[in-house]
Structures are given as structure tokens and as C-alpha cells.
Chain A
Amino acid sequence: MLRLFAALAVAVVGTTANAESVPITGNVASKCSIYTSVAGVYGNPAPDQLDTDPVKGGVDPVVRFDVTAADYYIAKISWPNSFATSPSLDDALAWDGEVTVSQTSDTGMAGYEAAKVEYDNITEYDLTVAGSTWFQIESSVDYGYGKSFPGGEYAANVTAECIAS
């Protein structure tokens, strides 16, 4: 009799231990993040010149764009054409710049550089592949004609835009 009760108890306990399905849900939304990988530093190779070129004592800023889905975003990067902070300047400034792809996380991004569109101080890239792309920005500015930049703080901003297409 005792064995019968024991067997029934095991059977009842066994039925309560049914397997439950545990759902795992997720959602992948298209998203763009802009990272400041390296902020730039202007070198001062000549009294009338500021340049981020490492050869001229500067550091080129680098911006990273992360996109989670392909073909959803356009990257628009502008090199500076004015100072955010500077001493009073009474002569003309000649700005120049260049944006290039410096690194990619996917071989499919190899065509970005050839397909870029440039106008004014803006460079556009169609982000057709999901992943990370690093863009290097060169910036230089000449002051007047052989004039020295006055002493003080100088800062100029690169603008990195990620626009849904």
C-alpha cells in the first residue's frame, strides 16, 4: 500500500512539472549614432596658418557613424568655415577642408569614398551598409596676407549630421 501511495505521489508531482515555453522577444529599429572618436587639434605651422594636418603639428578630428540598418541614413559632414571662438580678427580668413573615409567595419563600405558628394564645405555619404564608418576631417585656415593670427583662444566646430533618407 505504501508503495502504491509513493508511486501516485510521484505521478502527481511529475504532472505539475510541465515544460513552459519562455518567449524571448526583441526589436531591431533603425538607429544612427554619431561618435566623436578623436577631436581635432590645430597646429600652427606658420604665423598666419592653422591646420589639423599631423604633418603640420595638428590632429585631424575623426567622427564615427554607427547605423543599425542599411540604406536608412545619409551622413553629412561639414568642415568648419568660421571660428566658434577667436580673438577679434580684422582681416579675411580663407578656409579649406576635406572629409575622407578613414576606416570601415564592413568591406561593403569600400565604395563610400568614390560615391561621396561634395559641395560648399559639405560632404555627403549614403550609408548603404549597416555598421560603423569612421570619417576623418581635415581643416585649415589662412589669415589675411602674411598676417599673424593674434594670440588667444581659437575653436572651430565640425558638424556631423545623420539624416534619415
Chain B
Amino acid sequence: MKTLLTAVVAALMATTAYAHEWTPTYPKFEPSFIEDIVVTTMTLFNKRSDVEYYEITVHDADWNLVPFASATKLVYIPYLGKESVEIYIREADCDRIEYICTTSKQLLLDAPSSGIDSRICSKV
């Protein structure tokens, strides 16, 4: 029981305030250098010292995943780092895209670090 208690306490320790930001709130797509492909640039700011990876996803109004391309879909970003991410989608998908989201991802080893996953979605 003592082991369990110790593990549980260690698992979700109190932390100070950490945040993550994903802007702009209302991104606009523009034509890219590739025909029939549009692009927008989003900025991710990591103020969470307990998280270094963020996953990017694109969704329609029913939260179904929409295919997109970017340099990386799982962004490594150190504490207090800022990263601009270009997101490419097919022009044909422009009308059905509703949200572009980032979700904090914790390594399995770090899973107990804060116990809170943060997700921010911008609306197209």
C-alpha cells in the first residue's frame, strides 16, 4: 500500500502554471507554390516545461480528421520555444476544414509529469 501511495503521489505532483499557445485563432489559407494546394502558417509557443512535443491535426466540422501536409506532424519544441508551422491542404478540402489543432503529447516516461493534456484549436 505504501508503494502504491508513493507512486500515486509521485504520479501527479503539484506544478506551477504552464501553458501552450496556438495562433492565429482564425487562420486564412493562401495559394501555395504547388498547384491546387493552399497553405497557412501557424505559430506554436510552448510555455509548458513539462511538455516538448505537440501533435498537429486538421478536422472538419464533425471532428473527422482531414489529410494535410507539413514538415512534421509531431512538433518538437523546447520550453519557451516558438515554432512556425506551414500547413498544406488540398484546395478541394478548403470548404470542409473547420479546425486546426495542437495537442500536447507526453512521453510515456513523462506521463505522470502534470496529468493535464492541453489542446487548442483554431477555426478556419
Give the nearest-CB partner of A78 in chain B.
B117
Using Cβ atoms and an 8 Å threshold, which residues of chain B touch A85? 11, 108, 111-112
Q: How far is the CA of A165 from the CA of B20 in the complex (A)?
A: 18
Are A66 and B19 interface neighbours, CB within 8 A? yes
User: CB distance A154 to B7 under 8 Å?
Assistant: yes
CA distance A33 to B20 in the complex (A): 6
Taking the nearest CB of chain B, how far is it from the CB of A108, in angstroms?
A: 20
Contact present for B19 and A34 (CB under 8 Å)? yes
Query: DSSP class of A's interface residues: helix, strand, loop or mixed?
Result: strand
Interface residues of B, dominant DSSP: mixed
Tell me the nearest residue of chain A to B59, going by C-beta.
Answer: A163
Question: How many interface residues does chain B have, given as a range?
Answer: 35 or more
Q: Is A29 an interface residue (CB 8 A)?
A: yes
Tell me if A44 and B8 are in contact (CB < 8 A). Answer: yes
Which B residues from 20 to 64 make CB contacts under 8 A with A? 20-26, 47-48, 50
Q: Which residues of B contact A84 (CB under 8 A)?
A: 106, 111-112
User: CA separation between A152 and B11, bound complex, in Å?
Assistant: 10
Q: Are B23 and A29 in contact (CB under 8 A)?
A: yes
Q: List 10 A-B contacts (CB under 8 A).
A: A34-B120, A35-B19, A38-B14, A41-B13, A44-B1, A159-B118, A161-B118, A162-B120, A163-B101, A165-B123
